[in-house]
Structure 1
Amino acid sequence: MRAGVRVTAVLVALAGGLLLAGCCAPLAVSPAAFSTPVSRSVVPLAATPQAPALVPVPEAAPAVPPLRPVDRLVQSPPAELAVPAIGVRTDRIDALAPDAGGVLAATAEPATTGWFTGGPTPGADGPAVIAGHVGMGGAAGPFAHLAEVVAGDEVTVRRADGTDAVFTVYRVERVAREAFRASEVYGDTPGPELRLITFGGVFDRGAGPYPDNVVVWARLAGVR
């Protein structure tokens, strides 16, 4: 069991609007097109027994590997994140570390997410934490719709060792920043879990950062 990590503050108040967790169809050929008389020296393609099919056979969708239940995985850093319910798929997860005051910094790029290196890797014992932007500079971030996730949704983390750790969401909460309970997010858990975090509420540039945090809780369901 990996002990939880004490963090005095989870999300940094970011200035300037920087937000954390923030083929063509085949041509149809009518049989009537070949009903008019033609020269014996010209053989219509459709009349040739060896003529190729005019409509290509669609390729079958790749099979999704079955989910294999596991109690836990060995440590391996996260590389990609997918939350199909809200259309999220990122191919980059930065490493995030708290500053000297224990505040979790944000990723530098608005389109990326970040993994809290002070906690376990996704799938290992304990709560792995991934933070993302709601948006920045008018552009939506990967966690712009994180508050729309519901219990039962699936979250997949591709790890550096090539395994896909699959988590099932069991709780989603939006909480005021002042009431944020760090122990619930970073505290000890009986098995591998995942936390997704971003800002919530209405951003007021004059009043400062977003007033709330959105947190998603998920448990390891298996591996692919």
Structure 2
Amino acid sequence: MTVRRAGAALALVLALAGCGTAEPPKAAAPAPAPASVPVTVPFKGLRPTSVKIPKIGAESSLLAVAVKPDGSISVPSVRTPMQAAWYKLSPVPGDVGPAIVLGHVDGDKKPGIFFKLKDLAPGDEVDIDRSDGRKLKFVVDRVTQVPKDTFPRDAVYGNSAKPELRLITCGGAFDHAEHSYKDNIVVYANLADA
């Protein structure tokens, strides 16, 4: 499967996850993922271990998450809104392609790790450490706020010829009926000196 097809599934599950407003429902028992849930190269151990964004004071270890059998994304608990996660079916940061890092905008009535993500601007830096000891610096290219129902799947998850990073959280107005924010904040960044 391509990163693009995995990205389409992630876009759907991000909308369902609520980005820090409600915890996804728990499956009764583990089951194999349905055939309709696309996957990419399996996770083999190399992973990012932390993210740090100096401009907004964000720093977190990174959990590795994927798509649950019910099709929703396994995100960190809203009870720990300062915990960020790497979508392990995307490339490892520093490898070719768009690596995906997710974080809550808020949760448990507190700001989340990506509460100020919308304040980033081109030229700002994002540091990622990996389990192989590499310390990577990404430079923000652009920041967008997009409605969830028109999420730019190809721009966010489309294959690329160089190492890239996407930081994603919720934003915009809060829809109380859906218990979710109406938009996503997406930060696009490139590996420095790549």
TM-score range, shorter chain: 0.7 to 0.9
**CA-to-partner distance for each residue in 1:186-208, whole Å, 9 max, x for gaps?**
11011000000000112232343
Offset of 1:19 from its aligned partner? 7.8
Structure ID, larger Rg = 1
Give the secondary-structure state (helix, strand or coil) at the position aligned to 2:63. strand
**Match runs of 1:6-25 below 5 Å:** 6=5, 7-10=8-11, 11-14=14-17, 17-18=21-22
Q: Does residue 49 of structure 2 align to residue 79 of structure 1?
A: yes
Q: Which structure is higher in strand share? A: 2
* RMSD after superposition: 2.4
How many residue pairs match? The answer is 167
**CA-to-partner distance for each residue in 1:135-170, whole Å, 9 max, x for gaps?**
112111110010000011000001111211110100
Distance change (3 Å), C-alpha of 1:121 and 1:9: closer
For structure 2, list consecutive stretches of 5 or more residues without a partner in the other structure.
25-44
- Aligned equivalents of 1:19 and 1:217: distance in 2? 26
Distance change (3 Å), C-alpha of 1:14 and 1:103: closer
Give the secondary-structure state (helix, strand or coil) at the position aligned to 2:55. helix
Paired AA for residue 214 in structure 1? I
**Match runs of 1:195-214 below 5 Å:** 195-214=166-185
Paired AA for residue 138 in structure 1? K
- Aligned equivalents of 2:161 and 2:127: distance in 1? 20
Higher relative contact order (CA 8 A, sep 6+): 1
Paired AA for residue 66 in structure 2? A
Q: Which moved more, 1:200-209 or 1:111-120?
A: 200-209
Give the secondary-structure state (helix, strand or coil) at the position aligned to 1:185. helix
Taking only the aligned residue pairs, the percentage that are identical comes to 35
**Match runs of 1:98-113 below 5 Å:** 98-100=67-69, 102-108=71-77, 109-113=80-84
For structure 1, list consecutive stretches of 5 or more residues without a partner in the other structure.
21-74
Is the contact between residue 17 and residue 72 of structure 2 (CA under 8 Å) also seen in structure 1?
A: no
- Aligned equivalents of 2:192 and 2:139: distance in 1? 6
Paired AA for residue 216 in structure 1? V
Is the contact between residue 76 and residue 122 of structure 1 (CA under 8 Å) also seen in structure 2?
A: no
Is the contact between residue 127 and residue 195 of structure 1 (CA under 8 Å) also seen in structure 2?
A: yes
Q: Does residue 150 of structure 2 align to residue 179 of structure 1?
A: yes
**CA-to-partner distance for each residue in 1:103-155, whole Å, 9 max, x for gaps?**
43321232211101111100011110000001112111110010000011000
Give the secondary-structure state (helix, strand or coil) at the position aligned to 1:8. helix
**CA-to-partner distance for each residue in 1:171-200, whole Å, 9 max, x for gaps?**
110000000021211110110000000001
Offset of 1:102 from its aligned partner? 4.9
Offset of 1:13 from its aligned partner? 2.7
With the length of structure 2 as denominator, give the TM-score of the two structures: 0.78
